Chain A
Amino acid sequence: MSLFGFSLKPRRPKSAQMAKDRLQILLAHERGKGSTEPDYLPAMQNDILAVIRKYMKIEDNDVDIRMESKDDISSLEINIELPTHKSDAAGAKSGPKSAAR
């Protein structure tokens, strides 16, 4: 009986160890971001919108900004959905993609 009880007992990892493991990964990630954490992205998005609006008519959600960090490369991707009006400047087709690295 006790033998069964012992062998059937679920051997789940101790929760304290899980806490430590999760923190180790998270803190390494968050420290990496440090003070360059992109909390300026919303403000930058507004600035970019304002600049583009000087030349053409676009909606608030026509600009999409993403920042991604993989290993030691960070990429900033700015997608601007341009209006399809023929009369608009730059002869832009919809959705040109620009990526700055």
Chain B
Amino acid sequence: MTQLKEESARGRVIVITSGKGGVGKTTSAAAISAAIAKRGHKVVVIDFDVGLRNLDMIMGCERRVVFDFINVVQGDARLSQALIKDKRVETLSILPTSQTRDKDALTNEGVEKVLEELRDEFDYIICDSPAGIERGAQMAMYYADEAVVVTNPEVSSVRDSDRVLGLLASKTRRAEKGETPVKSQVLLTRHDQGRIDRGEMMTVEDVLELLAVPLLGIVPESPAVLRASNVGMPVVLDETPSSAAAAYEDAVARLLGEDVPMRIGTDKRPGLLGRFFGRSA
């Protein structure tokens, strides 16, 4: 019983994954981490995409990277040396990956050791998975307690999400040890109501029916996402409110157990001037 209590007090590991590339994993990892941290929880977001470091840019800390995840895994640096504290949200830290091309830089034991250490210190450990279903992606999901499967309403993304959901149900520590399965939820991104209305895009219901897992949130296609990444700011920290930021805030509230009704936001219609000069992001 006491053990159970201790267990629940330790950090939760949440993997952000998708199979397909370019669907918004890193954007979502950054936004979700920042939104949880804004609520006062201690959060660390880890880049598992060894060789193609990008989380640092999305988080705007690319010039502060000294040591990285691989250095810690291989024992060349202490965890505290590699963690980068976010300058905007006090409770948020980033663990960047390395740019080495060595695919075997991450070892199971090494990753487990680092994650166990982080579980003691943080409430939430967000793992930003690389695309694909190879070693890096499997490593990112292996120790997860929960998974957010980022999916676009598009055939290849849905198919890959289905593969990834299969892996989450079989190739994780929880699955192998016969524990409670990884709790997987779909985060639908790049949702476009206009195209759905014209019959050009699968609806939320279509995707959920195909994948048969709960929905964490619906993030509309929004120019705010690119704008935020341009300046290295998680979209939820942007001062200008946007439909994407609101969607991530809602998703995070659900992730933390709140009961928030599902809604599909839209960005404010452009004003007269905006309409006059056309919509440019």
Contact = CB atoms under 8 A, between A and B. Distances in A.
A89 interface: no
Interface in A26-45: 26-27, 30-31, 34-35
A20 interface: yes
Interface string A1-34: 0000000000000111101101110110011001
Contacts of A20: 202, 206, 209-210
Interface residues of A, number: 15
B192 to A, nearest CB: 11
Contact of B199 (A14, A23, A26, A27): A14
Nearest to A34: B166
B196 interface: yes
Given A15-B200, A19-B202, A27 B155 contact: no
Contacts of A16: 196, 199-203, 206
B107 interface: no
B159 interface: yes
Contacts of B199: 14-17
B154 interface: yes
A21 to B, nearest CB: 10
Nearest to B154: A19
The SS class assigned to the A binding surface is: helix
B159 A26 contact: yes
Contacts of B170: 35
B155 A19 contact: yes
A3 B209 CA distance: 38
A35 B167 CA distance: 9
A19 B199 CA distance: 10
A16 B154 CA distance: 9
Contact of B158 (A14, A15, A23, A35): A23
The interface size bin for chain B is: 10 to 19
Given A15-B199, A15-B200, A16-B200, A27 B162 contact: yes
B166 A31 contact: yes
Nearest to B171: A35
B163 interface: yes
Contacts of B196: 16
A23 B166 contact: no
Nearest to B211: A27
Contacts of A31: 162, 166
Contacts of A19: 154-155, 202, 206
A16 B199 CA distance: 5
Given A15-B200, A23-B210, A35-B170, 16 more contacts: A16-B196, A16-B201, A16-B203, A17-B199, A19-B202, A20-B206, A20-B210, A26-B159, A27-B159, A27-B210, A30-B159, A30-B162, A30-B163, A31-B162, A34-B166, A35-B166
Interface of A: 14-17, 19-20, 22-24, 26-27, 30-31, 34-35
Closest 10 A/B residue pairs (Cβ): A14-B199, A20-B206, A16-B202, A19-B155, A16-B199, A27-B162, A23-B210, A19-B202, A16-B201, A20-B202
20 contacts: A14-B199, A15-B200, A16-B196, A16-B199, A16-B202, A19-B154, A19-B202, A20-B202, A20-B206, A20-B209, A22-B155, A23-B158, A24-B210, A26-B159, A27-B158, A27-B162, A30-B162, A34-B166, A35-B166, A35-B170
